[in-house]
Amino acid sequence: MGKTVNVREFLDKSKSGKRNKYIEKSVPIVLFLTASISVLTTIGILFTLVFEAVLFFKEVPFIEFYTGKVLKPLGNDPSFGILPLMNATILTTLIAMLVAIPIGLTTAIFLSEYASERVRKKLKPIIEVLAGIPTIVFGFFALTFVTPILRQLIPALEPVNALSPGIVMGIMIIPLVASLSEDAMSAVPNSMREGAFALGATKFEVTMKVVIPAAISGIVASFVLAISRAIGETMIVAIASGSNKVFTLDITQPMQTMTAYIVEFTSGDAGSGTVGYYSLYAVGLTLFIFTLVMNLVAQYISRKFREEY
């Protein structure tokens, strides 16, 4: 009877075994460094925004910046009030969500509860194609197609306005709402559906009273992430919403969002080191805080209402 050989001892004695030891020790380090890239990048972005924004707030009072309704960064007597930008950003985002949430959620319900497996496999990728279209294409679509149609229905609508880009942003983020909500509803165990059917519930009742409440954390998280996406959108609003820096609630008028302001001002006559130049970082920091809060809300909702099966 031959001598029993321990596989681990054999590998350790061989040259390949030594090489494997080095690989095993180096892999965690490489993975850690790779995982740290996103964290370090975020820290670097935040540091840059904060450092440059501090220089701006040394010249412009914090209260004046966030409560002022007049924004004239290149005027003879420049004023920096961000309320018009925040107002336009919130309005266009609300319009987008009024479009994306109903359509996206009903699409998710159909895919999860009513569509056959064959239809789902074909329809879902088609819907998600929208997410791959460049945003600048959506911008020209809003300006040259959606706006002329809306002007036939609303004669007072300006050639550039807040309504058209808001609607198109909603169309753009439908895949985000639909896909994430469908994933959340598909994760609900079939046993819950079968139990409701056994009690005499209809398909619609099972969907509305069992599946959606069970998947509510994922659904609401998709809404919040979609809001973050809409807040940070640039090209659609830069092309189709205009550059009017006036505080107004009239969505038929031109408006300028925070992202559009950054695009316009960086391509304008602002000199490096001026107060107007540093205002870009203050607006960028505000935008960063907006999206950060939205993501934190999404994470909180997911943890708070998550159902584990």
Q: What is the pLDDT of residues 91-145, one digit of tens each?
A: 999 999 999 999 999 999 998 888 888 888 888 888 878 878 888 899 999 989 9
User: Does residue 2 form part of some domain?
Assistant: no
Residue 179 lies in a domain: yes
Same domain, 36 and 87: no
Residue 161 sits in the same domain as residue 38: no
Mean pLDDT of 222-232: 87
**222 and 282 share one domain:** yes
Same domain, 267 and 221: yes
Identify whether 137 is part of a domain: yes
258: in domain: yes
Q: Among 208, 228, 225, 188, which residue's Cα sits nearest to residue 302?
A: 225
Q: Are residues 149 and 270 in the same domain?
A: yes
Whether 193 and 123 map to the same domain: the answer is yes
Q: Are 211 and 278 within one domain?
A: yes
Q: Which residues lie across from 79 on neighbouring strands? A: 72
Are 91 and 223 contained in the same domain?
A: yes
Quick count: other Cβ atoms within 10 Å of Cβ 79?
A: 15
Residues 30 and 124 in one domain: no
- pLDDT tens-place string over residues 167-186: 999 999 999 899 889 888 88
Residue 64: inside a domain, yes or no?
A: no
Statement to judge: residues 132 and 25 lie in one domain: no
- Rounded to whole angstroms, how far apart are CA atoms 157 and 252? 5
197-225 confidence digits (pLDDT tens)? 888 888 888 888 888 888 888 888 888 88
CATH number, domain with residue 174: 1.10.3720.10
Mean pLDDT of 18-30: 75
Does residue 100 sit within a domain?
yes
Residue 65 belongs to some domain of the structure: no
Over range 290-304, report the average pLDDT. Answer: 78
The domain total for the chain is: 2
CA distances from 30 to 42, 129, 164, 276 (A): 19, 34, 47, 42
* Domain housing 22: 7-58
Q: Are residues 106 and 12 in the same domain?
A: no
Could you tell me if 19 and 86 lie in one domain? no
pTM, full prediction? 0.82
> Distance between alpha carbon 37 and the CA centroid of its chain, in Å?
21
